[in-house]
């Protein structure tokens, strides 16, 4: 079954404190839609067209570049929209907060490590917080539209937080200042959703 563009769980201007409405609209309706259109075209009429996007990620290393890149782009963006919110949440609580403190020392220390992963990703890509096979939290980055679910990922795991550091995600407001965008982005993280993903991954 063909993939379709998911609706956002908020209005385009809901994240204005960190990401402007015009960027959100272009990112969702143009960039994400293009990944969906391209992956649908790439898998049409093949044995891959009945697989979920997660199943495609799991075998990404064996797939043609058009499927890996665009399938990854679809998964990453659908994931990205859902771990943001216009309702300020401040900080995680409960088991996730405890694990962050135990693993990184503090939420600020996690942010520093995560931001460094994104800021030092050469070219385009993503920064991730994921739960590894050993159940431990880990920070990583991936190039292009790769993600930790992929069999070819350098650091594999179940993603619970991800940030798009492609220039199209931030250029209208932040121009070339990727670190400024990354710092501002923490104000729109949906920690409730991240906690749900964390619990499921554990």
Do 28 and 20 touch, CB atoms closer than 8 A? Answer: no
Q: Binding residue per annotation — 77?
A: yes
Q: Binding residue per annotation — 151?
A: no
Q: Binding residue per annotation — 168?
A: yes
Binding site residue list: 27, 77, 164, 168
List binding-site positions for Mn(2+). 27, 77, 164, 168
């Amino acid at each position: 079954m063909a993939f379709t563009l998911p609706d956002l769980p908020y209005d385009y201007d809901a994240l204005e404190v960190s990401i402007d409405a015009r960027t959100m609209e272009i990112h969702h309706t143009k960039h994400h839609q293009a990944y969906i259109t391209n992956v649908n075209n790439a898998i049409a009429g093949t044995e891959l067209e009945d697989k979920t996007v997660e199943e495609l990620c799991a075998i990404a290393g064996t797939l043609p570049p058009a499927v890996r890149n665009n399938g990854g782009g679809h998964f990453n963006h659908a994931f990205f929209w859902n771990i943001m919110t216009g309702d300020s949440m401040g900080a995680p609580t409960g088991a996730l907060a405890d694990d962050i403190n135990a693993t990184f020392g503090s939420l600020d220390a996690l942010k520093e490590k995560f931001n460094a992963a994104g800021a030092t990703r050469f070219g385009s890509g993503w920064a991730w917080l994921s739960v590894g096979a050993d159940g431990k939290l880990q920070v990583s980055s991936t190039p292009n539209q790769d993600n930790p679910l992929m069999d070819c990922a350098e650091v594999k795991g179940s993603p619970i937080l991800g940030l798009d550091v492609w220039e199209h995600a931030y250029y209208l407001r932040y121009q070339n200042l990727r670190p400024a965008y990354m710092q501002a982005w923490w104000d729109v993280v949906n920690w409730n959703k991240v906690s749900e993903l964390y619990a499921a991954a554990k």
